[in-house]
Chains A and B, each alone.
Chain A
Amino acid sequence: MAIDGLIILDNTGRPIIQSGFRSKSIAYPLLHVDAFNNALPKSQRPGDIDPVIYVPPYSVADSPSACCHVECGDMRILCPVSGDVDPLFAFAFLQTFTDILREYFGALSAATLKDNFDVVYQLLEETLDSGGHPLTTSPNALRDIVLPPSLLSKLLSVAGANINSTINSGSSIGGPFSSPIPWRKAGLKYNSNEIYFDMEEQLKAIVNKHGTTLTSSVWGKIATNAKLSGTPDCLLTFTNSHVITDCAFHPCVRLQRWKRDRSLSFVPPDGHFTLAEYRFTPSTSATSARFMSAGATPVALSAKENIPIPFILKPTVELTESGVSFEFKLTSRMSSQALESLVAEMYLGEGAGALKCVASRDDGGNAWKGKSEASSVSATGSWSFDSKKMVVRWEIPVVPPSSVWKLQGSYTSTSAPRPAHALQVRFDIASYTFSALKVDQLKVTGEVYKPYKGVRGKASGNVEWRW
């Protein structure tokens, strides 16, 4: 399996960086850039564009191909593929490549890449063979070969003396590919050894117009930041590992150990990485669902597996020939924690305009003294209209426990209004996990020091509430 190459486009659709398409004609990359730029304006809603675009053959002798693409900051990365290649392969590589770029440059934008284009080219050469086969994709190994841009390296390169890059500069440790473990740098030294685990969980749910949860699932990942010297061998155990299932691991995790006693044994890579991904199974029905016992009805199963939604939404929408008036009432169901940066969005449909809304806090006490703080967003919430995406956005910075919020509004439409019949609600909850997955202990062997360990939870949600 091999991809044909990579093309990075800026927000005007012009290629800024591309890998060499050696086995293809010169027109090939241009064909794909055109195919993408032509497909973009045809999408019904901005961004609603098929991620795999069919590109017809250029000439009779040519074979057809397809253009896989992803959005990345203000850029698009295109990945032409042809023949029998699995598009998943292209998307997996694109994901890996953007992760590497993020690791090197932080937030990505066309400007950053232009600032560091020589590094990007070096990265392209090292991650992708000219035949389109991925080469070195582990960030730890790459950092040995391609130096990340830093002020020091810039200074040195201006001075014309890059000590690290001078060939045969002495020690045998630290050279490229000297590490016996492909994902870990060799010879690391830290003054304070630390390792942090972030349990990041996301609730995805769909609620129907009667307020019944149709489907809900919690997907989590353990984002890790390791700053450990030498070659530590870590063993992470959980007190309640039975609550997670459908796991995926970083290559460093020993799969057999997990299978045997559900503990994570690994030699971590250096720096940020995702140790594991999992799905939270709220009840013990997980096993019965997996083996699909004939007796259990699926309705009962899904009901049992539902995770409570941390808020209630009461939508009232009236559709008329030429406009829509709506009222949404949101009540937090959390008992102690606040929902943070809550954003609710609704697509209003083509031709919507003249949107007028009032956002307010609706529960007794605060509405009373609301007059004086009416201007402050945190007291009332705020709304905005994105005329490009035709989306009304309702934002509440902090939703305290059991508070009630309201958005009232109306808009007119040039044709019969066709809004999406659902509200997309996204929110964060700090230091909270849905699964209550708990780390029992972390044992580090193979090194003498005792590292500082940190674990924290972070929950977010993306709920579709239909009306």
Chain B
Amino acid sequence: MSAEYLNTISENASRLGMRLQESFSEHTRELAITRGSSLYLEPDDKEKNVRKQLDSSSDREKLDAMKRLIALISKGRNVSEYFAQVVKNVASQNLELRKLVYIYLLRYAEHEPDLALLSINTFQKDLSDSNPLIRAMALRVLSGIKVPMIGSIVVLAIKKCAADMSPYVRKAAALAIPKCYDLDTSHLPALIGIISSLLRDRSPLSIGSVAVAFETVCPTRLDMLHQQYRRLCRVLVDVDEWGQINLLNLLLRYVRTMLPRPMEEEIDPDVKFLLTSAEPLFQSRNPAVVFAVTRVLYYAGPPSHHSRIVQPLLRLQHISKEVERVVLAYILAVSRTTPSLFSHFYPHFLLRTDDLRQVKQDKIKVLLLLANHDTHQAILREFIDYADDPDDEVVSDAVRAIGKCAHSMPDCTPQCLTALITMIKNHRDSVVSSAVLVLKYLVQAQLSSSSSSSFVAVAAAPQQSPLSIISSLARRIDDIRHAHARACVIWLVGQYSASSEVSTGPAGIVEWAPDLLRKSAKGFAAEPSLVKLQIITLAAKLLVLCPTDQTLSLIGGYVFSLAKYDLNYDVRDRARMMISLLSGIGLSEAVVPKDLKQDDRGSVVLRREQVRVVLFEGKFGVVDTQNDSDLNVALGSLGMITHKPMHGDSLLPDWLERGVESSLRDTEDDMPAPPPPTNFSSAPLPQKARSLASPVVLTPSGGSPSGGSKLQLTDLDKFYEEEDQDESDGDEGEEQEETSTTESSEDDSEDSDSEDRQGH
């Protein structure tokens, strides 16, 4: 053995020496070691030479040409014209060259299927190469050629690779299945056969890709999983991280489709098994795995299990800004349904000034949901702080959150109102306008609710009765510059201007209203039309309340005549409507022109009380414009992040009423194992014993999760050793040496299966 080894080394050395000599003498002037590959990216006229270089006999030339081609690809150039020359090199002995050729082929095989077909023999030959890398690459190229004609060849290739001894190649085989299915759906039965044989694969390395193939090719054939379900749960820990994600999603779908809904105290043992096997994966370093486990616990666990997702999700928040952004959206969705889960951890959601805007906004929403009678004081203080944020959108979200706090928690209404009223005095436009909008909503909500129980408490503080809020808003109208906010204040004043108290102003009107009308009439022309409309309405309302007052009629008439000739037709229309509406209540001519008054065309003229009803009680109900419409999407799907339909079908199936027979999932693995075979290594194993061979567990330690069954757990080393021994029967030589080295490096740590080892 060692002689042979030495031989190859010396052979290589001499080959290297020869090559070095000839190439150095040939190319010393071109030695550009330090410049790296970037010189290929520079434009030059060497492109013409590529064809010649590819046809040359020297590997160096060919490599150079291939690098040039890859450089052109990365510049976005289409280099499919060289396909014929490149394909010829697919059988090259130089691994690096061959890999570059494969990269090229993987990109262009689709576009040049006819030429790719020419080399199909080479690919098929490569499927039997001794190097698993080459075998896998050949399969990847083969399945990438989009010619339906070769479908059956691809199926054969997949079948061959699915039985390969290297799990890497089996993985490639699994990933080729969806491509073959896309090519020609008529191969479905054959592909399903391959999938079901791959599902039985004992190595955890390829199982994740098999789950991918399953989901794309035959997602509805969950019945194929009955026999594998428990084993898949068991190997979950040992699957690679990307495979874990796919497998967890598949198993989640399986339990939702095949098992009864878990109730408290009464969880199907198979559901419980999935939950307990998935939970350790919370300790994965991969955020996507952690979230896949979260989905399993959230969608397959009973409500009592939901608290277990809290800590892992909080941990994910700290991984990176991007992950935080996504996880927050999920936490928000979870808290919408069960705010109690996270309410004790609200300090994790406090804003930092360097957070992304989206993160800040989501954090405010989460905090709002988490506010309860224990935490609302602290959270409210936070919201008030956030009103100082440099970002206007965050400010308006924070102010709105204060309003919602006041609405949902009567305890803190006074505090919220004080905060909002202070904000009106703020010098910042955005703060003022948001505060006004929120105040309007609050005042309206409280005045309109007849059983204003929450308001009884508030009324005690005279500063905060709704009317005093309105009056202070009216007095500050000059400071409120935001159009929407101004319109809001004017509407609010008009709506609640009726008063029975005796005041210095016109009878029946609160004292601040006429002054507001005066001020706004003065600046009418300069207002945006949104505000103009509200000024007209205000004038009409005041006139209805007190038609006799001379000054009011004059101001009202002034406003109406300005509005009648406004540039905006909405404003003109509103003015006309108000004038005719008011025509029946006996106003002075300053407001309603004579011709209209006397024009008795048989139209309906409303009496004062009727006009009042029309103007004041036309609108009902308090509408909160900010409504978070939530799409009906499952946790962990793109739609939840973008808030737009993404055309996926993420909806999970609902539980079955009873679930399918649990005995369907019983396998021989769950039965007590027969006595271990004595002749493990010498002869090919009988098929039955093979299927009973122990599953691979990367983490050898006591206590298999399956409970009482006598599973023989081995670690990966031993598993491979065993496999090698199997293979060495057919393939002596190379494998022998590998076996011996793994044996020597055997670890002697705690072995739960040492008796088993002695059986060898």
Contacts and interface: CB of A to CB of B under 8 A. Distances in A.
Contact of B36 (A115, A231, A250): A115
Interface in B695-751: 698-703, 716-717, 719-721, 734-735, 737-738, 741-742, 745-749
Interface string A74-94: 000000011111111101111
Nearest to A65: B646
B76 A170 contact: no
A86 B350 contact: no
A289 B311 CA distance: 10
A264 B385 CA distance: 44
B103 interface: yes
B28 to A, nearest CB: 10
Contacts of B346: 298
A210 to B, nearest CB: 10
B212 A133 contact: yes
Interface residues of B, number: 151
B359 to A, nearest CB: 9
Contact of A260 (B35, B102, B701): B701
B16 interface: yes
A424 interface: yes
A66 B645 CA distance: 11
A41 interface: no
A118 B103 CA distance: 10
A359 to B, nearest CB: 21
A28 to B, nearest CB: 14
B705 to A, nearest CB: 9
Given A63-B647, A66-B641, A167-B131, A88 B98 contact: no
Contacts of A178: 738
B12 A163 contact: yes
Contact of B385 (A254, A257, A466): A466
Select the residue from B73, B106, B347, B703 with max chain A CB neighbours within 10 A.
B347
A206 B74 CA distance: 45
Nearest to B39: A115
B352 A88 contact: no
A48 B427 CA distance: 26
B311 A290 contact: yes
Interface in B168-207: 168, 171-172, 175, 178-179, 205
B285 A84 contact: no
Given A117-B37, A172-B738, A89 B94 contact: no
A54 interface: yes
A122 interface: yes
A106 interface: no
Contacts of B686: none
A114 interface: yes
A64 B647 contact: yes
B647 A157 contact: no
A118 B41 CA distance: 11
Nearest to A16: B74
Nearest to B97: A165
Nearest to A146: B99
B254 to A, nearest CB: 16
Contacts of B353: 347, 420-422, 424, 464
A95 B95 contact: no
Contacts of B735: 172
B747 A267 contact: yes
Contacts of B375: 298
Interface residues of A, number: 141
Given A130-B144, A178-B738, A230 B307 contact: no
A82 B638 contact: yes
A255 B237 contact: yes
Interface in A343-366: 347, 349-350
B607 to A, nearest CB: 51
Given A133-B242, A172-B735, A246-B311, A204 B318 contact: yes
Given A52-B325, A204-B318, A422-B353, A416 B427 contact: yes
Contacts, number: 372
Contacts of A70: 320, 322
Given A118-B70, A162-B96, A251 B428 contact: no
B333 to A, nearest CB: 13
Interface stretch (A147-155, A329-337, A379-387, A427-435): A147-155
A158 B648 contact: no
B74 A88 contact: no
B622 interface: no
A117 B638 contact: no
Contacts of A455: none
A204 B171 CA distance: 42
A88 B291 contact: yes
A299 B376 CA distance: 11
Interface in A233-270: 233, 235, 245-251, 254-260, 265, 267
Interface stretch (A179-187, A193-201, A392-400, A402-410): A179-187
Nearest to B98: A167
Interface in A187-213: 187, 204, 206, 208
Contacts of A259: 280
B249 interface: yes
Contact of B94 (A66, A94, A167): A167
B428 A416 contact: yes
A180 B719 CA distance: 9
A277 B285 contact: yes
A217 B100 CA distance: 48
Contacts of B47: none
A436 interface: no
B59 to A, nearest CB: 5
A267 B315 CA distance: 26
B388 interface: yes
A214 interface: yes
Contact of A180 (B283, B326, B388, B717): B717
B542 to A, nearest CB: 35
A137 B11 CA distance: 34
A290 B314 CA distance: 12
B358 interface: yes
Contacts of B130: 168
A115 B12 contact: no
A64 B716 contact: no
A439 interface: no
B653 to A, nearest CB: 14
Contact of A446 (B649, B734, B749): B749
Contact of B286 (A48, A65, A92, A267): A92
A415 to B, nearest CB: 10
A84 B648 contact: yes
B41 A114 contact: yes
B746 A446 contact: yes
A273 B426 CA distance: 52
Residue from the set A176, A180, A231 with the largest chain B CB neighbour count within 10 Å: A180
A395 B676 CA distance: 69
A180 B130 CA distance: 17
Interface string A111-153: 1001111110110010001110111110000000111010100
A249 B241 CA distance: 12
Contacts of B620: none
Interface string B5-48: 10011011001100110011001000111011110110000000
Contact of A51 (B35, B70, B356): B356
Given A91-B320, A167-B95, A421-B385, A54 B749 contact: no
B637 interface: yes
8 contacts: A22-B144, A52-B326, A84-B649, A86-B326, A119-B37, A135-B171, A163-B16, A418-B390
Interface of A: 1-2, 15-18, 20, 22, 44-45, 48-52, 54, 63-66, 68, 70, 81-89, 91-96, 111, 114-119, 121-122, 125, 129-131, 133-137, 145-147, 149, 151, 154-155, 157-163, 165-173, 175-178, 180-182, 186-187, 204, 206, 208, 214-215, 217, 219, 230-231, 233, 235, 245-251, 254-260, 265, 267, 274, 277, 279, 289-290, 292, 297-299, 301-302, 321, 347, 349-350, 416, 418-422, 424, 445-447, 464, 466
